[in-house]
Structure 1
Amino acid sequence: MVPLSYLLRFIEEDAPFGDVTSEAVIPEDLNARAIIIAKQKGVIAGVEEAKALFEHFGVKVEVKKRDGELVEKGDVILALEGNARAILLVERTALNVMGRMSGIATEVRKLVEKVKSVNPKIRVAGTRKTLLKPIDKRALLIGGGETHRFSLSDAILIKDNHLALVPLEEAIRRAKEFSVYKVIEVEVESLEDALKAARAGADVVMLDNMKPDEIAEVIDALRREGLRERVKIEVSGGITPENITEYAKLDVDVISLGYLTHSVKNFDVSLEIIGRL
C-alpha cells in the first residue's frame, strides 16, 4: 500500500485550514452512512489507500471490492459509517486516488491481456514519466504490469544525453566499475549501438523509437553473434494500444509505455451519502 504519510499530504493540501463548508453546515456530532460506487466497468485500484485515509479519520470501512478486481458500473466498492464531517473531508482525496489508480490499472490490464494473447512471456511496463510515483507505480502492479525503475537510484539506465557526453562502451565500463549489484540498461536507437551495448556487457538493451522491422533486424543480429540470450530486450517509444500487438510478435522481453502514467484517463467513481446514523 502507498504509505499513509504520503496520502495525508493530499488531505493537507485540500483542506489546509479544515473543510469550512462542512464545518459551517454539518453538525459536529452528526454520523452518516455512505458508499463509494463504480460508475463504469474496469479494474478497481486504490481501495486500500482510500480505506486507510477514511480509517485515519475514524470512519468505519467495509471493503466490498478489492484492489485488482474487475468491477461493473454500479458496483459498491466501499461502505462507510462514521462522522459526517470526516467522510466529507476525505471524499475528494479518496475518489481522486481511486480514480487515477483505477484508470491506470484498467488500461494496464487491457494491454497486458492483449500482449499475452500474442506472446505470454512479454512484460508490459510503465516508465518514470509521472510526479505521483507511489500511486502510479502501485496502480501499474495492480493492473498486472511492471513498474520499471521507481527512481534514479534503482538501476543504471544510460540514455541518449549520457551518451552525448561519454561514449557508449566507456559508459558501460564505468557503470560496471561503479557497482556490481545494479542492473545496467542502455537506451539505443540503432542496430550498431544495440550490438555495441550487448558486446560491452549491458544487462538490458532498450530499443527506443524503432519500428518492428528494425527491431527484428537487431534481434537477428544479436542471435548471429550469440548475444541474444545474454541480454534482455526492452522496446519503447511510439508504441500505442493500436500497434502494441505488432511489437508483441517480436522476440522481446519488455514493452514499456510512458503514456500509461502521463496520459491517464481517470476512472469514474462516486461517493454517495445514503443516510444519517
Structure 2
Amino acid sequence: MAESQLTCMEDGHIKENVPESKPEFYYSEEQRAAVEQLLKNGDGAFKMRLKEDKVKDFLSARDIKTIRNTFKEYDTEDEEKCGELKAKPDDSKANSGHHSTYWPQMSDTEVPPLDLGWPNGGLFKGVTRVAVHTHPPKENGPHIKEVIRRLIQEATKVLAIVMDLLTDIQILQDLLDAASRRSVAVYILLDVSGVPHFLDMCCRLQVGAQHLRNIRTRTVQGTGLGLSFGKLLGSLCSKYMLVDGDKVMFGSYR
C-alpha cells in the first residue's frame, strides 16, 4: 500500500479533506476512484467520474499511458489454488502444531548482510567538495560517463550502485573488472523491471562465475498504489553510486 494511503488510515487523518490549493495536499480518494474507472471502463467513465465528484482532470496523456502499461490485476486463480493447498495440508505437516499460524522465524527472509565487507573509516574529516558535471560538458570539462568510469576504475574498497536500469556495457565491464581483478566489493541494487535488460548485457559480456565472486545484486520495486481489483506497480527512480565510502556520484548522462 502506498504511503499516502497508509497516512489516510491514521486516526488524525480519517475523513480529512485537504483542498488541492494547500501545499500539504498529497492524496485524494476521489482521484483514486477516478483512476479505477479509467482502468475498468475507459476514458469516458474516467471523465464522468471526475465530473460527478467535481474533481479537475489530473492526468496527462503520458500519465494515462503509463498507468495502463503498469497496472496489474490481482491473480485470483493463484489465490484460489493457494486456498486449495491450504485446505488440504500435507499429512507430514498436519500434526506439526503450526497449521496456519504465522511463524516469522520460519517464513520470513532476513535481509542479506553486506558479506563482502564495508569500509569502517568512521566519520569523514576534511572539507566536503561538490563538483557539478553537465551533459554535454562545458568548458572542455569531462563527460559525465568519463567521470563515472574513472571513479569505478580508481575504487579500491567498495562500489555500491542503485539504478533503475544498468545496461551500459563499458560501465558494466568496469564493474566486473573491479570485482574480479582488484577484489573490490560491488553491491548493485536494481529496479525489478530493469533486471531482464541487465541479464541480457551480462550474457553479451559472457559473464562467468569468476566475475561474480565479489558482486552482490538485489532487486527492489516501488511501493505502488493498491486498487480494489489490482495494483499500479511502483518503480525505483534513484541513480547514484557510492565509492569507497567517501565519494558519491548522483545523476544521469542520458
Judging by fraction of residues, say which structure has more strand.
1
Q: Could you state the TM-score of these two structures normalised by the residue count of structure 2? A: 0.31
